[in-house]
Amino acid sequence: MAVVRFGVSLQEDQLEALDNYVKDSQFANRSQAFRQLISKNLVENKWQHNKVVAGVITLVYNHHKRDLSLKLTDIQHDYYDVILSTQHFHLDYDKCLEIVVVKGKALRLTELSDKLIAVKGIQHGKLVMSTVD
Ligand code: NI
């Protein structure tokens, strides 16, 4: 796609905040930071409007916890229509990392993610959202 240049007017404090964001996120320049902010906003907008989106749910848990992995599997079967793939990694003797790749209506994906993360014994869970187009 062609790159178009345009001028942006900002207040001094906003420019300072932008430059800090560029520095902290190690962007090459302000344009790259703007592009990132815009695309992030577009993705979030799609989620807010319950459009079809893609995402990944990451779960970390102790596999010795009773029935935990069974519960995770039960929940995933209830949402088979939005799950593209599940991958399981044995991190060490106790810990497992599971990633669930999903695609579907934003609200249904959020619902699935909330249920998985709420399972007792999940140490860390996060849904990362992306876009499909
Ligand atoms: Ni494991």
pLDDT per residue over 26-39, tens digit each?
Answer: 888 988 888 888 88
Are 56 and 44 members of one domain?
no
Asked if residue 124 is part of any domain, the answer here is yes
Q: Answer whether 0.95 is exceeded by the pTM.
A: no
Distance (Å) from CA 64 to ligand 1 centroid:
9
Q: What is the CATH number of the domain that holds 89?
A: 3.30.70.1150
Q: Are strands 122-130 and 95-105 parallel, antiparallel or unpaired?
A: unpaired
Q: Are residues 89 and 127 in the same domain?
A: yes
Ligand 1 centroid to residue 102 C-alpha, Å = 20
Residue-by-residue DSSP string for 12-73: HHHHHHHHHHHHHTT-SSHHHHHHHHHHHHHHHHHHHTT-EEEEEEEEEEETTSTTHHHHHH
Contacts with 107 (C-beta within 8 Å, 6 or more apart), sequence order: 50
The reply to whether 88 and 58 lie within a common domain is: yes
Containing structural domain, residue 93:
52-131
Q: For residue range 63-111, list pLDDT tens digits in order.
A: 888 899 999 999 999 999 999 999 999 999 999 999 999 999 999 999 9
Residue 31 belongs to a domain: yes
